[in-house]
Every structure is written in C-alpha cells, then in structure tokens.
Amino acid sequence: MASARPAANTTWCARCGAYLSVSPGARSLRCPLCHGVTRVERRRPHALQRVAVGFIKGLMNAFTTPPPQASSSPAPGGSPPGSSSFSQLPASSSYPARGRGCNKRALLVGISYAGTKYELKGAVNDVNCMHYFLRERFCFPPDSILVLTQEDRDLSRVPTRANLMRALRWLVDGATAGDSLVFHFSGHGVQKLDNDGDEADGYDEALCPVDFEDPRGGVILDDEINATIVRPLGKGVKLHAIVDTCHSGTILDLPYLCRLSRTGYWQWENQQTRFSSEQKCTSGGLAISISGCGDSQTSQDTTAFSGSTSTGAMTYSFIKAVESEPGTTYGRLLTAMRATIRDNGGEFGIPGPIGTFFRRVITFSCAQEPQLCASETFDIYRKPFLL
C-alpha cells in the first residue's frame, strides 16, 4: 500500500480493507477476496480542504501555545520543571472536576525524560497534537482534558508514578453509561518478567513514569493499569487507550488481541491464561487499546512535522489515518496506520493543506506494527471508530 488513502482510481473494500480498482462510472464493487460489496465514494476535495485548513491552524498553534490547564501555582520551595527530585510533590491536586452534562474525559501524558539518556524529543508534541485533535475532531471540552508533562510548573501534573496512578483513577472515577474516556501515553515502555502467570508470553508490559528509576517511584505494570482503568468500567462506558511506547501491544492486559494480515484477513486471539480468566475484564463496559507496536517491538520518534519538530511515529500515523478517512472503522484505521509506518510516512503524507505542514523523513521502524486489543470481540470492519 502506497499511502493511508487510496488513489483516485482505487478504493478500499469496506469489509476486509483490500485495495480495489474502480472502473469509470462504477457505483459499487465486489471484493475478490472477501466478496463484500463496497459503494464507490464520491469525494468533494474542496470541502475537505476548507476543514483541513482550520485543523492545521489549530495544530500549529498547539506547538506554540500550552494546552489549557486549570490555573495553579508551583508549590512553595518546589523543584523547577524537569527536576529529577520528586520527593516533595504534593499528595493531592486540583484535577478538572466532572462537568455537568459532559460525557467525555481524557488523560494525556507526555514524558520527555529531559536531561537523561532516555530523552525523547516528540512526547510533549504528541500530547499537544492529541489535545487539539480531541477538542476539534471529537468535541472534548478543554476542561475535561487532564495533561501531565514533565515540563508543567504545577508539580501535581508532573508524570511521576504517584501522580500518574492518581490521574488514572481520576479518569474513570464516577464514569456512567454513555461516557467516553481516552487515555493517551507517549513515553517509554518496558517488559518485566511475569511473576503471577497471567501473561501468555511470560512477560508483563509496563509504562515508565518520569521517576521510573527512583526507588520511591518505579514502573507501572499492565496488571496495575488493568485494575485501575479497565475493571471499574461499568455498562455503557467506553475507554480508548492510545499508547505510543515500546512493548505496548497488550499494555492494558485486555483479553483479546486482533491478528490482522496485510491482505485484510483478521481474527481475535484470546490472551487469557488459566490464572487471569475473568479478572482482566471490565464490569460491563468496553475497553479498546491502540498501541504503537507489539509486545516484543519498539516504537520510535519521527521528525514528520515540518521544521524538524519530532513526534511519535504511532501518533503521526494515527492522526493521518483518522484525517484521511473520517468515520473510518477499526480495521481500516489499523491497516492505514501500519501502511503509513511501512511506507516511511506514506507517499502523500496527510491529505490536503495538512500535508504542507508535514514532511517525510525516513525515520520509521519497519519492525514497528500498531496493535489493536479489546475487552470483547467485534467485527473490526463494521464497527466505526469513534471517541
């Protein structure tokens, strides 16, 4: 596949995602692989361009203007932003309150690990992009989005282990039927030897807070993430985790991993062992994770934005896939993300005027393959992606 969007004389199969050639004047096609029938889309490029212009203006502002946050001041005598001393961080914080009539809430975490050998250039940019993306594309109110970055002057919003666990609890606290929750993490991830027998591959996956090497901090295991934001989800509550880290394929410890081939064939693989069983499931809600790579793979930064501004390869491919095809399905989203990474950013980049603010630099890892996991199975080519 050359890009995340078919060329003018081709289209995608609505069922399996395979490319199909379109004859002039054709209104529908039957896929030779899955035999599904696809209606031929009539595009209106000028309308899409007008929408894209507004999106890009906001996106570029995201790089120069910090995301809106509740006003707060640094703790007296506290460490400056980026400091490696976290012992004096406050035990509580004024995270956004649940607004009346608001059924959307998001937690965005970007960790640069500034001043260490693990430093990442694109993590904070990922958060800025996602903040704008959620507001403009999926109508998340600014005051329903909590951002944690190492550079924040409010020490309660520095992504230490303690603050990150507190923020995860904030995300799901009080969630009721109809609520849509989003957890986005851009940073480092690692694998740890599984000690309780609940991992099919023998390893736990883990997120690395800014103090992951500090004896008072440490990593956050997928077992803890599952217990904190997956199991409490009640009926009618939907959670999406978008995780741009290494070793993140099953970072939420969800029961099902989607195996998807390049030809579009797919099946759900049960990840549960006799030691995990029902304890990894939700309490009736739906949890879905879209991660940057498989458990044994690594994710990379890329300088996909103009001006050599870095961003995560997974975050870039995710935004590109959604922008290229609003109303896409989970199957088409995953296929498009993988194609973008395989093709080093894609031949055409992000479509319309958005593309003028992006340039292709070949820094993608061909071994990196985004993954889809869920708390329950569904038809990935029929279920629309919606936050």
**Domain limits, the chain:** 104-374
Q: What is the pLDDT of residues 168-193, one digit of tens each?
A: 999 999 999 999 999 999 999 887 77
Do residues 317 and 337 touch, judged by C-beta distance below 8 A? yes
Q: What is the pTM of this model?
A: 0.74
Q: CB atoms < 10 A from the CB of 193, how many?
A: 8
**What b/e sequence results for 261-283 when a residue is b if at least 16 CB atoms lie within 10 Å of its CB, and e otherwise?**
eeebebebeebbeeebeeebbbe
- Give the mean model confidence (pLDDT) for residues 266-294: 81
- Give the mean model confidence (pLDDT) for residues 310-337: 88
Q: What is the pLDDT of residue 289?
A: 94
Q: According to the per-residue pLDDT averaged within each range, which of 41-45, 47-51, 170-174 is highest? A: 170-174
* Nearest-angstrom CA–CA distance, 73 and 162: 19
**Residue 188 CB-half CA count within 13 A:** 19
- Give the mean model confidence (pLDDT) for residues 311-335: 88
Mean per-residue pLDDT over the chain, rounded: 76
pLDDT-based confidence at 233, cuts 50/70/90?
very high
Residue 88 scores a pLDDT above 90: no
Residue scoring higher pLDDT (201 or 270):
270
Range in 26-30, 58-62, 205-209, 315-319 with the lowest mean pLDDT: 58-62
* Nearest-angstrom CA–CA distance, 93 and 108: 16
Q: What is the pLDDT of residues 114-138, one digit of tens each?
A: 999 999 888 888 899 899 899 989 9
* Nearest-angstrom CA–CA distance, 174 and 183: 16
Residue 17 scores a pLDDT above 80: no
**Cα–Cα nearest to 325, from 372, 386, 374:** 386
**What b/e sequence results for 51-72 when a residue is b if at least 16 CB atoms lie within 10 Å of its CB, and e otherwise?**
bbeebbeebbebbeeebebeee
User: Could you tell me what percentage of the chain is helix, strand and coil, using 3-state DSSP and rounding each to the nearest 5?
Assistant: 25, 20, 55
* Token reading at 10: 């081709």
Residue 335 scores a pLDDT above 70: yes
* Nearest-angstrom CA–CA distance, 358 and 353: 10
* Nearest-angstrom CA–CA distance, 282 and 80: 39
Q: What is the pLDDT of residue 207?
A: 93
Q: According to the per-residue pLDDT averaged within each range, which of 46-60, 106-120, 310-324 is highest? A: 106-120
Residue scoring higher pLDDT (305 or 204):
204
* Nearest-angstrom CA–CA distance, 202 and 214: 25
Helical axes 45-64 vs 123-138, angle rounded to 10°: 140
- Give the mean model confidence (pLDDT) for residues 303-315: 60
Residue 366 scores a pLDDT above 50: no
Q: CB atoms < 10 A from the CB of 98, how many?
A: 15
Beta bridge pairs of residue 258 = 268
Q: What is the pLDDT of residue 239?
A: 98
Q: How many residues does the chain have?
A: 387
Q: What is the pLDDT of residue 18?
A: 61
Domain 104-374: which CATH number of 3.40.50.12660, 3.40.50.150, 1.10.3720.10, 3.30.9.10: 3.40.50.12660
pLDDT-based confidence at 33, cuts 50/70/90?
low
Q: What is the pLDDT of residue 295?
A: 52
Q: CB atoms < 10 A from the CB of 165, how many?
A: 15
Q: What is the pLDDT of residue 75?
A: 40
* Nearest-angstrom CA–CA distance, 166 and 82: 20
Which positions are annotated as active-site residues?
Answer: 188, 246
Handedness of CA 211, 215, 221, 223 (dihedral sign): negative
- Give the mean model confidence (pLDDT) for residues 382-386: 95
Which value, to the nearest 10 degrees, does the dihedral of the CA atoms of residues 215, 293, 116, 214 take?
A: 0
Do residues 345 and 304 touch, judged by C-beta distance below 8 A? yes
* Nearest-angstrom CA–CA distance, 322 and 300: 20
Phi and psi, residue 132, nearest 5°: -65, -45
Q: State the pairing for strand pair 286-291/238-244.
A: parallel
Q: What is the pLDDT of residues 291-304, one digit of tens each?
A: 876 555 445 554 44
Residue scoring higher pLDDT (377 or 46):
377
Residue scoring higher pLDDT (313 or 16):
313
